[in-house]
């Protein structure tokens, strides 16, 4: 098979970065018009693109996308909320949540173990592979419980529920009902245009590994990510960088999740993937329906006030699921 062109690879990298940004920023209500904001292309989209490309390259280059390798990599992704945004030390919102060893404990568990791990990393990676490529590595290496869950969601059309719930959550960041009505549709339209262009000019015949950065590109992405950390760490809320004691807590977390990732990648190389198939070929119309449901949920959340209740519920469930995944990861590496 013909290798993908450099242009095709760059386009795929952009798609991955936009998927990561879409689920992380739009669904959270943090940047509800992120694809229509110039500053997003300067600060936000590069942040997610560089992170997902670097960790994707790391996992595929040195191991296999086993769920228990993706999880610690996603946690490392979430730790950007320390030195870049400083949120793990000092959230930008009012909070009475407990602190431990200098970090905001609840926010750290939500953002590291759940939100960025899954919404910014694992879910975008899974969708990028199952929608835009012909490979099936992530799904084939899932544990049985995760496979059953995905089949239940697909067979019973439960995926229509998630955009509504996501919209309700998203409305916490909306300032008007017009924002709530338009954001889901407009941001989803952007993703749909990327899908249509990909299918028309590239196609879905390449495998995920075909589109990986090569060795030189991977190194360049790593350097750009490091430069991004240095620049944004210096210009974004530099006064919120805490004492060395609180910083040491983050260093320990980097070492801990880095060690888990190293062990998981080593273990993943000897795990045999099952002969299974799971592919998604959504039409543009179906995706726009999902975008409409995201807007509908946002309107409901904004008008009803259910958004804060749902947000707290997501935080609680997300922490429990993140802790469950952490325990399962450690158990599978023992």
Question: What are the pLDDT digits (tens) for 40-80?
Answer: 999 999 999 999 999 999 999 999 999 999 999 999 999 99
Give the Cα separation of 25 and 44 in Å (integer).
9
Task: Compute CA 178 distance to the chain's CA centroid, rounded to the nearest angstrom.
Answer: 26
Tokens of residue 301, six digits: 């959340």
138-146: long-range pairs with CB below 8 Å, 24+: 138/65, 138/67, 138/70, 139/276, 139/277, 139/278, 140/273, 140/274, 140/275, 140/276, 141/64, 141/65, 141/66, 141/67, 141/268, 141/271, 141/273, 142/67, 143/67, 143/328, 146/67
What's the mean pLDDT in 84-113?
91
Q: Give me the pLDDT at residue 275, please.
A: 67
pLDDT in tens, 177-220: 999 999 999 999 999 999 999 999 999 999 999 999 999 999 99
pTM of the model: 0.96
232 pLDDT tier (thresholds 50, 70, 90): very high
pLDDT of 6 above 70:
yes
Q: Confidence class of residue 1 from pLDDT cuts 50, 70 and 90?
A: low
Please answer whether residues 104 and 246 qualify as being in contact, where contact means their C-beta atoms are separated by less than 8 angstroms: no
pLDDT in tens, 7-32: 999 999 999 999 999 999 999 999 99
DSSP conformational letter for 272: P
| CB 14 within 8 Å of CB 197 | no
Each residue's pLDDT tens digit, 103-113: 999 999 999 99
pLDDT at 151: 87
Confidence at residue 226, expressed as pLDDT on a 0 to 100 scale: 98
Question: How much is the pLDDT for 130?
Answer: 95
Mean pLDDT for all residues in the chain: 94
> What confidence category does residue 307 fall into, taking pLDDT thresholds of 50, 70 and 90?
very high
Can you name the residues that pair with 99 across neighbouring β-strands?
A: 104
Q: Give tens-digit pLDDT for 258-275.
A: 999 999 999 999 987 766
pLDDT recorded at residue 124: 98
């Amino acid at each position: 098979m013909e290798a993908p062109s450099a242009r095709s690879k760059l386009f795929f990298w952009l798609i991955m970065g936009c998927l990561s940004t879409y689920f992380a920023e739009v669904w959270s209500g943090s940047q509800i018009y992120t694809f229509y904001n110039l500053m997003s292309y300067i600060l936000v989209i590069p942040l997610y693109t560089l992170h997902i490309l670097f960790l994707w390259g790391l996992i595929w280059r040195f191991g296999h996308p086993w769920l228990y390798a993706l999880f610690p990599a996603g946690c490392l992704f979430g730790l950007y909320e320390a030195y870049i945004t400083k949120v793990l030390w000092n959230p930008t919102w009012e909070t009475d949540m407990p602190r431990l060893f200098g970090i905001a404990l609840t926010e750290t568990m939500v953002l590291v173990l759940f939100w960025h791990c899954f919404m910014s990393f694992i879910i975008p990676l899974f969708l990028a592979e199952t929608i835009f490529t012909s490979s099936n590595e992530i799904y084939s290496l899932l544990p049985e419980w995760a496979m059953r869950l995905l089949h239940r969601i697909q067979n019973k059309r439960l995926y229509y529920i998630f955009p509504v719930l996501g919209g309700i959550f998203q409305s916490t960041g909306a300032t008007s009902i017009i924002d709530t009505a338009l954001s889901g549709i407009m941001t989803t339209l952007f993703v749909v245009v990327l899908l249509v262009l990909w299918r028309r000019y590239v196609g879905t015949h390449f495998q995920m590994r075909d589109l990986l950065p090569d060795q030189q590109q991977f190194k360049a992405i790593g350097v750009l990510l490091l430069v991004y950390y240095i620049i944004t760490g210096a210009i974004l809320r530099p006064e919120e960088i805490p004492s060395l004691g609180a910083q040491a807590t983050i260093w320990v977390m980097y070492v801990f999740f880095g060690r888990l990732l190293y062990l998981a990648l080593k273990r993943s190389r000897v795990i045999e993937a099952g002969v299974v198939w799971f592919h998604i070929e959504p039409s543009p119309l179906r995706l726009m329906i999902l975008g409409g449901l995201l807007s509908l949920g946002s309107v409901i959340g904004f008008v009803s006030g259910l958004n804060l209740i749902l947000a707290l519920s997501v935080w609680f469930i997300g922490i429990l699921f993140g802790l469950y995944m952490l325990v399962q990861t450690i158990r599978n590496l023992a």
